[in-house]
Chains A and B, each alone.
Chain A
Amino acid sequence: MDAFTTPLLAGTATGALLLIAALGLALTFGQMGVINMAHGEFLMAGAYTTYLTQQVVTNTDLSIIVALPAAFLVAGALGLLLEVAIIQWMYRRPLDTLLVTVGVSLLLQQLAKDVFGAQGDPVHTPGWLDGNIDVFGYHWPYRQMFTILLAVGALAALGALLKQTSYGRRIRATVQNRDLAETVGVSTRVVDRVTFFVGSGLAGVGGVAVSLISGTNPNLGTTYIISAFLVVVAGGLGQLQGTVIAAFAVGIVTAFLTDWFNSSMAQVLTFALVVIFLQIRPQGLFTVRTRGLA
């Protein structure tokens, strides 16, 4: 039984992590056509924020709770800075944003190395996440459940923002038809910035979850960025449910492949599966027919 439950539960946790990382990407990609390769470094920023929070709030039971909003703000602020300083000058050139943000990603990695040192820093797991429950022989760690809850929470919050608030309406309007939205008085500039802030902030939250897996290190972002992009590509643009299904599918499939073969083969096969999947659905799982999407 544990040959089945282990990959399923562990894969769900990985999928949850990918979801948090991919939500922000899907938002900015879907709405603005911006490919942010520095998104992984926002994840890293979230992890370092967790580490720094633990230096200030020494009670580890509390510090993770404090780190979540802090990481959201830090990563969100970095995203906003990126949007204002660079991205806003290059809408309509989506492929170029990809390359510019590659540059930003290199800068941020080197910066982290210079500021925090090349050796990683420890992040302590709070006492209430220490432990596991036995599910058919798999010692399911509380930490993985926490990651899943975090993803569900982030999804719910984002869903509420998009569906219930006036900002959400404006965001959806901009995604569906930027020019028309502008005509009816939506300030797409402001909407873009809010989206970028929220999307990047979510990466920061993901960084908190990542730091509980691996502590911090300057190359942390590169580990997740490609998988997160594959999730966005497989999920399709403009609809969050595609991203959700794709994230958990990639996470669980990778976990099973890892169990059957090994991690290296799992990475290679997952990529092959995504390419094959795109043969069946070139636009991803779900897509909104809109003007101006890639």
Chain B
Amino acid sequence: MKNLLQTGQRWGRTWGPLLGIVVVAIALLVVAPAVLSPFRLNNLGKYVCWAIAGVGIGLAWGRGGMLVMGQGVFFGLGGYAMAMHLKLEAAMATGGPDAVPDFMVLYGDGTMPGWWEPFRSGTFTLFAVLVLPAIAATILGFAIFKRRVKGAYFAILTQALAVAFATLLVATIKQTGGFNGLNQFTQFFGYNLYDPVNKKMIYSIAAVLLVVCLVVVWQLYRSRFGELLVATRDAEERVRFLGHDPANIKLVAFVVAAVMASIGGAMFAPITGIVSPSDVDATASIFLIAGVALGGRSLLLGPALGALAVGFGRTFLSESFPDQWTYFLGLLFIVVILFFPSGLGSAWSQLSARLRPKETVR
């Protein structure tokens, strides 16, 4: 009997999370498109982008103990990389293969900086979405972790990074569109962006990417690396004494989180039709954290579901109580962190663990 129970528990531990991912996949890919209006589905697509970034934050913060308060930067790298391509696609559709984005003609002298050029290629753009944040995160992470900067110092530095990044974007009008950001896209890899069928397709791509990210972190969490990461979070010195370099472990988590944020950003551009500094600055980065904190930072599905919930809450509350939205967001932080530090997802499992019959615990 005891054996059977243990087997059952092991089975649950192994397959439970996967089952959760399957449920999320079905909900996002089958149920949502069937029941939601095109407009609401597009909204959901936006939350899915935040959720993709949230999964990465869960990895870095929940499992790795690194409070990444500047994920907007990586979200922005992906978002702007994709937006540059979409902008060029829109320009080339009307102006031929050498056309430059409209804002460079309006606000600049009509010449395009050389580093825009490769983004004419869709393949390069997809490559850049994955590689740019990885490079940026590696350099930054290397500088920070090797010098053992951690805890609050790390959090503050990442937030300052988000502020600096947004300031830089706003100030480079001729290169990045400045405060207005990049917008007025017309097509997405050849598909008309304003055709409802295509919007549904783009939504589906985002949803699939979210599921893929969930599967990736699920694998990571089960691996040796996942165990080392948690060990580093809980006792960095001991991990060092065991012969591992905590800096490398953290670096991997930080880079994976950055790439996920970038993927989220890259899908955000075609879904919302705009990427601007206000989507990547310190406030936006804190907003990304909010969902992860709500859902449960160290759970597998917590960050994603939390991000979806906060995204939905933002739309719903700002439609119903436009003036009180900020209060809700502020209270969410206070109440969740104060009373449910491991998120609502954990609150539920803690409660159910307490309610479960005693013998399974023994």
Contacts and interface: CB of A to CB of B under 8 A. Distances in A.
Interface of A: 29, 33, 35, 86, 89-90, 93-96, 98-100, 102-107, 109-110, 114, 226, 229-230, 232-233, 262, 264-265, 267-268, 271-272, 274-275, 278-279, 282, 294
B8 interface: no
Interface in B318-352: 323, 326-327, 329-334, 337-338, 341
23 contacts: A35-B156, A94-B151, A95-B67, A96-B337, A99-B293, A99-B333, A103-B334, A104-B330, A109-B326, A110-B326, A114-B323, A226-B156, A226-B159, A226-B282, A232-B156, A233-B157, A264-B171, A267-B164, A274-B160, A275-B140, A275-B143, A278-B143, A279-B147
B155 interface: yes
A281 to B, nearest CB: 9
B167 A264 contact: yes
Contacts of B147: 278-279, 282
B266 interface: no
A294 B155 CA distance: 12
B333 A267 contact: no
A109 B151 CA distance: 26
B39 interface: no
B331 A294 contact: no
B146 to A, nearest CB: 9
Interface of B: 65, 67, 140, 143-144, 147-153, 155-157, 159-161, 163-164, 167-168, 170-171, 282, 286, 289, 293, 323, 326-327, 329-334, 337-338, 341
Contacts of B161: 271
A294 B293 CA distance: 22
Contacts of B334: 86, 100, 103-104, 107
Given A29-B152, A100-B334, 9 more contacts: A98-B152, A107-B330, A107-B334, A114-B323, A229-B159, A233-B153, A264-B167, A271-B161, A274-B157
A103 B332 contact: yes
B152 A35 contact: yes
Ranked nearest first, the 7 interchain pairs of A and B with the lowest CB-CB distance are A103-B333, A264-B171, A106-B330, A107-B330, A282-B147, A110-B326, A103-B334
B155 A103 contact: no
A102 B332 CA distance: 10
Nearest to B140: A275
A230 B155 CA distance: 11
Contacts of A275: 140, 143-144, 157
Most B Cβ at <10 Å: residue of A106, A265, A275 = A106
Given A106-B333, A110-B326, A282-B149, A264 B168 contact: yes
Nearest to A270: B164
Contact of A106 (B152, B156, B168, B326): B326
B327 A93 contact: no
Contact of B329 (A89, A94, A106, A226): A106
B163 A90 contact: no
B31 to A, nearest CB: 32
Given A106-B326, A226-B282, A233 B156 contact: yes
A86 B338 contact: yes
Nearest to B165: A268
Contact of B163 (A86, A103, A267, A272): A267
A103 B151 CA distance: 19
A247 B337 CA distance: 31
A64 B164 CA distance: 34
Contact of B171 (A100, A229, A232, A262): A262
B277 to A, nearest CB: 11
Given A86-B334, A271-B160, A95 B155 contact: yes
B152 A33 contact: yes
A294 B151 contact: yes
A94 B155 CA distance: 11
A172 B299 CA distance: 40
A90 B155 CA distance: 18
A100 B168 contact: no
B338 A90 contact: yes
B26 to A, nearest CB: 32
A199 to B, nearest CB: 15
A290 to B, nearest CB: 15
A271 B165 CA distance: 10
Contacts of B331: 103, 107
Contact of A271 (B164, B327, B337): B164
B164 A268 contact: yes
A89 to B, nearest CB: 7
Contacts of B332: 103
A86 B156 CA distance: 21
B338 A267 contact: no
Contacts of B170: 264
B327 A107 contact: yes
Contacts of B341: 93, 96
B275 to A, nearest CB: 19
A190 B321 CA distance: 41
Contacts of A95: 65, 67, 151-152, 155
Contact of B149 (A106, A107, A265, A278): A278
A95 B149 CA distance: 14
Contact of A282 (B148, B293, B329): B148
Contact of B155 (A33, A98, A110): A98
Nearest to B335: A103
A102 B333 contact: yes
A268 B326 contact: no
